[in-house]
């Protein structure tokens, strides 16, 4: 009888329990834009590279391997990772852990939606030959080519980028957010197209970069985790409702993005700073609205309180 291995890095279907299993026994680590596993040393910047880090341990397949919480990195060194129970889902679709129930947040003031600008979807070159066993490059798919006719194929995937913000995980192209990394890997795709096994060959590689933000009453501070950005040719454009970035990097890599902002900003008073591993942008708010998200197309109707409430 076939079973599925639950070891991270393996997750193969097997019939022989004595078969060798190559896997990661440690928990995933996400810190300051870097991604890796607690059990081995490789660290990468993109999510695609993280998924291809080779397993560091050889053992036997296991159908009940524990789920480990992502490692919390700080100045005190690595911490132990307890097993994490599966999340419970309430009537509104919110996922929670443990017995505590999150308190409802006040509703945000309605803001006009900003159209989401999509970049062209990468496709395999016309007439390209795909080797049997090649994996689809689209996020959320990963199907291996079995040699079948590609005329009627259908790929379900995520056209956006992974988002990790204040413990929640998801994709920029859809609204579902989870807390557990294992559940993040199971989020079903939200778009369909053909598989992409080879991709377009370019002199310059367009890459995805993770972003994070925090805010004060007057500013929103955004970090884009791009390594070795070329300061002389980098371009950042501030508009009242849109943030545009074009960041050329070392090794012929480039990150381009356009963010429809949740709230209006003052472009003239907004600034940016390029560092070794990230670009930090300081957006000056045009009003005192609290931003629950950076992008207007990810707004959920909730707000996040800043500071302490006023008292009589």
CATH number at residue 175: 4.10.1130.20
Flag whether 165 is in a domain.
yes
Range of the domain at 54: 3-60
Q: How many structural domains compose the chain? A: 3
Residues 213 and 268 in one domain: yes
Pick from 79-88, 181-190, 275-284: least confident:
79-88
Pick from 37-41, 93-97, 106-110, 202-206: least confident:
106-110
Flag whether 170 is in a domain.
yes
Flag whether 305 is in a domain.
no
Residues 177 and 144 in one domain: yes
Across 6-21, average pLDDT: 85
Tell me the pLDDT tens digit for each residue of 111-166. Answer: 444 444 456 788 888 778 888 888 898 998 888 998 888 888 899 999 888 888 76
In this prediction, residue 264 carries a pLDDT of 95
Tell me the pLDDT tens digit for each residue of 230-282. Answer: 999 999 999 999 999 999 998 888 999 999 999 999 999 999 999 989 999 99
In this prediction, residue 113 carries a pLDDT of 46
pTM of the model: 0.38
Residues 185 and 215 in one domain: no
Written in H, E and C, the secondary structure of the chain is CCEECCCECCCCEECCCCCEEEEECCCEEEECCEEEECCCCCEECCHHHHHCCCCCEEEECCCCCCCECCECCCCCCCCCCCECCCCEECCCCCEECCCCCCCCCCECCCCCCCCCCCCCCCCCCCCCCCCCCCECCCECCCCECCCCCCCCCCEEEECCCEEEECCEEEECCCCCEECCHHHHCCCCCCEEECCCCCCCCCCCEECCCCEEEEECCCEEEEEECCCCECCCCCEEEECCCEEEEEEEECCCEEEEEEEEECCCECHHHCEEEECCCCEEEEEEECCCCCCCCCEHHHCCCECCCCCCCCCC
In this prediction, residue 310 carries a pLDDT of 45
Across 49-61, average pLDDT: 87
Residues 262 and 193 in one domain: no
């Amino acid at each position: 009888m076939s079973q599925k291995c639950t070891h991270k890095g393996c997750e193969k279907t097997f019939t022989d329990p004595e078969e060798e299993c190559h896997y990661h026994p440690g928990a995933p680590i996400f810190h300051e834009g870097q991604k890796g596993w607690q059990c081995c040393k490789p660290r990468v910047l993109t999510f695609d590279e993280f998924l291809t880090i080779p397993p560091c341990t050889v053992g036997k397949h296991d159908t009940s391997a524990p789920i480990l919480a992502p490692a919390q990195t700080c100045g005190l060194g690595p911490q132990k990772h307890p097993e994490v129970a599966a999340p419970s889902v309430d009537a509104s679709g919110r996922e929670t852990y443990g017995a505590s129930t999150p308190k409802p947040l006040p509703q945000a003031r309605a803001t006009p939606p900003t159209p989401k600008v999509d970049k062209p979807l990468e496709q395999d070159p016309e007439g390209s030959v795909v080797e049997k066993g090649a994996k689809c490059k689209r996020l959320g798919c990963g199907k291996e080519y079995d040699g079948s006719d590609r005329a009627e194929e259908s790929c379900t995937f995520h056209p956006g980028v992974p988002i990790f913000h204040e413990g929640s995980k998801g994709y920029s192209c859809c609204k579902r957010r989870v807390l557990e990394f294992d559940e993040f890997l199971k989020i079903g795709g939200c778009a369909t197209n053909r598989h992409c096994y080879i991709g377009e060959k370019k002199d310059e590689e367009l890459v995805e970069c993770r972003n994070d933000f925090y805010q004060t009453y007057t500013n929103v501070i955004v970090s884009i985790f791009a390594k070795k950005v070329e300061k002389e040719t980098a371009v950042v454009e501030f508009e009242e409702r849109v943030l545009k970035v074009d960041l050329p990097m070392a090794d012929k890599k480039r990150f381009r993005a356009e963010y429809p902002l949740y709230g209006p900003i003052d472009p003239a008073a907004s600034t940016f700073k390029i560092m070794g591993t990230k670009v930090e942008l300081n957006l000056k708010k045009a009003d005192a609205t609290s931003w629950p998200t950076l992008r207007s197309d990810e707004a959920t109707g909730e707000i996040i309180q800043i500071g302490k409430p006023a008292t009589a």
